[in-house]
Amino acid sequence: MYGYRATIAANYIRNWAKHTADCVVAFAADPIRVEQSIARRFADYHDGCNYLRGEIGVAKKDFTNGTWKGFVNVPLSAEQKEQYASWDIEDNDVWDGLAAYGEKGYKFSLTYNAGNANWMATYTAQADSGKNEGYAVTGFANDPYSAARVLLFKVSCVLPDVWKDFKPLPQDSIG
């Protein structure tokens, strides 16, 4: 309908999640390469979406942020961890879900913390991303895929539409 360039860009975006999942598996033994690969894959996704927008005549989105407000702490309760364990979102659907939030103006990052041997996935709501602008949420796990899946679970199943309205359950007074 819009030409072969738009078709090529749309096909790239459709297959992006599978290729991203393949990159995580391929570089699993090298945390730095996984970080670099995921960062590059998300940058390529945004570039592909912007290219497609240009081909079909829709305005590009700007993914810069100058309105930092802070992190939203979202600890998972025992019940939420059980819900997470039975959550039926797997594999490519995780990456597609993350990309969908990215299109709404959320910046995704994935980093490895050698101090505690965990991966941390983070969403930062960029300018024009709505009510969550300037806030960030994290998820962590022992591997990059699980960290990304925990983050997606938090933003899609635990948090309200307005992140700052989240009220965590009371914690123990010591720990």
Question: Is residue 139 included in any domain, yes or no?
Answer: yes
Q: What is the pLDDT of residues 153-165, one digit of tens each?
A: 999 999 999 998 8
The structure tokens listed for 75 are 């600890």
Question: Is residue 153 included in any domain, yes or no?
Answer: yes
DSSP percent split of the chain into helix, strand, coil, nearest 5: 50, 15, 35
Is the model's pTM score more than 0.85?
no
CB burial class (10 A; 0-12, 13-18, 19+) of residue 80?
middle
Domain count of the fold of the chain? 1
Question: Is residue 171 included in any domain, yes or no?
Answer: no
Question: Is residue 138 included in any domain, yes or no?
Answer: yes
Half-sphere exposure (Cβ direction) of 24: Cα atoms closer than 13 Å: 25
- What is the pLDDT at residue 65? 47
Question: Is residue 46 included in any domain, yes or no?
Answer: yes
Question: Is residue 144 included in any domain, yes or no?
Answer: yes
Q: What is the pLDDT of residues 52-78, one digit of tens each?
A: 888 877 765 555 545 788 899 999 988
Question: Is residue 87 included in any domain, yes or no?
Answer: yes
Domain ranges, residue 158: 4-165
Question: Is residue 115 included in any domain, yes or no?
Answer: yes
